[in-house]
Amino acid sequence: MENKFYTLPKMPYEYNALEPFISEEQLRLHHSKHHQAYVNGANAILELLDKARSEGADLDIKSTLKALSFNIGGHILHSLFWNNLASVERNGSPSEALNEAIINEFGSFERFKKEFIQAAISVEGSGWAALSFCRQTKRPVIMQIEKHNVNVYPMFRILMVLDVWEHAYYLDYKNERSKYVDAFWNVINWNEVNQRLENIKIG
């Protein structure tokens, strides 16, 4: 029978692979506790929906679906995040196609990096910065996502995402989000980002 619930993905590297930019302790806690919590939260709501439907019981649909969106968003974004990180020795560089798309949109890679950093640092409360791609306009677009599910552009494919919830960096950087955002550029898995763009072009 096909699995009807979410599972925590295995990390594609060891917990200490991103040091010194992200510590083993920080990464282990982030993955095994915080990401797991969103998996558990989404599954609990799915079970609640299954039970209510089988019993013909009423639900507060508005609050239930809002909570489901939050937890599924947390799970999906974290799953993307782990895979667009890599150790310095394995992170590669932007492909010609990615670099061309970025320069065509932003004018230069430096301008893209500046806007992405600003998006990450200025997220109100907790959230994410993401580089996405619009298949209609063929343009890369930065998303500033609040929580896990606010300000998301529907159907835009995510190429690269950065978690700026405090749980992503507080052990290593305390309240200095900007230092964590700067460190992120040392551990981007450009090979994965390149492949995501290629998959969009193929698909």
CB-side neighbour CA atoms (13 Å) of 77: 30
For residue 10, being part of any structural domain is answered with no
Q: Which residues of the chain have pLDDT under 50?
A: 1
pTM of the model: 0.95
- The DSSP letter of residue 108 is S
pLDDT for 132: 98
For residue 134, being part of any structural domain is answered with yes
Q: Give tens-digit pLDDT for 17-66.
A: 999 999 999 999 999 999 999 999 999 999 999 999 999 999 999 999 99
Provide the greatest CA pair distance for the chain.
58
For residue 101, being part of any structural domain is answered with yes
Domain of 84?
Answer: 22-203
For residue 1, being part of any structural domain is answered with no
For residue 107, being part of any structural domain is answered with yes
pLDDT for 3: 74
pLDDT for 202: 54
Sign of CA dihedral 111, 18, 171, 8: positive
Residue 179: name the closest of 121, 129, 125 by CA: 121
Domains held by the chain: number = 1
For residue 3, being part of any structural domain is answered with no
For residue 7, being part of any structural domain is answered with no
pLDDT for 1: 44
Written as six digits, the tokens of 203 are 């698909």
